[in-house]
Structure 1
């Protein structure tokens, strides 16, 4: 996708950093450096963080407001902006304002999405002319999920998540529950009872209904709120875990059925009614602005 340059007048517009779902997740091996090899299917949902970029003239990269518990230097938007400057020699500065809506530790890719939006939008605002492929390579140094957000379309992914192939999947209504817990991704991947030798499948197998998540058993047994959410959501549709969780979701063919489940569950849970989308809201927004 070739995007026209963004006009400087939109510097202070809000840009979406959407959440993703893992519609399946198979762990097929482990590299010598500890990274796990996997197969997964990413789809975006229309639940987003929102990021605004304010130009500054002193070359400094800063956050308007830090996220509690995350030092500014560790924030992925800051690291992404500084990575762009180091890659290109850009001397411009930016103050980054993040409206945080995606729960941390939820398996929705919030930090990775924030980083990707920063890479993509600042590449345009700073007129750096880096290719989408190069942005994805830079993003991979920040996190394994960043490339799919840079790529911007539902994807079949392999490797550690960076080998992407475009895939169209049904854009269904989704009910998403955020259990009251934070899942430690590192703990899950270090678990001795985690399946690490799943047989590789093909896209056609996924389409036929093979959408297991190999992290599910580990997370369900270690995090009771996740287990409870899966049980209650499964009363309405097949309940699944995204990534390593903690968020669980179910897809619905009709908005009416999704709304019914949402209303029943919101009495007890923090729940979201969202729509699965194949094109990232970020790139839909970029195209609409040109």
Structure 2
């Protein structure tokens, strides 16, 4: 994958709590861009600008609880969840085929669902392949990817790459790179085991102090702004991964469409927009 040529579009389904099997999706009550029609509209806009598309459906649990902990407490509820997830994911597999997407992500950070119901996922992948003819991946959480049982059925090993890398207030590029070493070794081990390219289905850092201790944490709005720490994190990923022939690229978390209204020097969130990290990426992507 060349740099700066893909966009990840993310339709959403909603679950009430971690033991609820009902998935609500494609409704008038959610953001337009996270529905089927929104996906089709925005994909066409990006394709006019020569971007390739990955469609990456997400589940959102009420109050933002972690999707990896979704687990049913009875066989009956597991079956209901499986039927609901099949309907949800095939809706977007068909839409992805319709819009000629390049990659379809079959799920995002669903570890307990995946590990407790492996036969379901094997059959689901077969169903998805009947509807979508492009490449497939799954977005495994950073601490999950080693245990995903179906990498051999997919085209990419997908990792949401929020690995803990440093406990420093402002990690230097070198601090980040030293922190990456054990994780990169683990990624390479899985890559060699399945002989599939690796894609970072999400990667990014908040522009905040101590941003590499637990980079996945997005629930705290507070935190001192630290633009340098964010830029250093992006530079280290570029240094460590972009030259590797087994690394297919990655998708920055998170980019918003109203560019002039987001990010900036007083923003401590994930977006690199209107921050030094964005300037850095322009430089790196133009090489």
- Place the TM-score, normalised by the shorter chain, in its bin: under 0.3
Name the structure with the higher helix share: 2
Name the structure with the higher strand share: 1
Q: TM-score, normalised by structure 2?
A: 0.25
Q: TM-score, normalised by structure 1?
A: 0.25
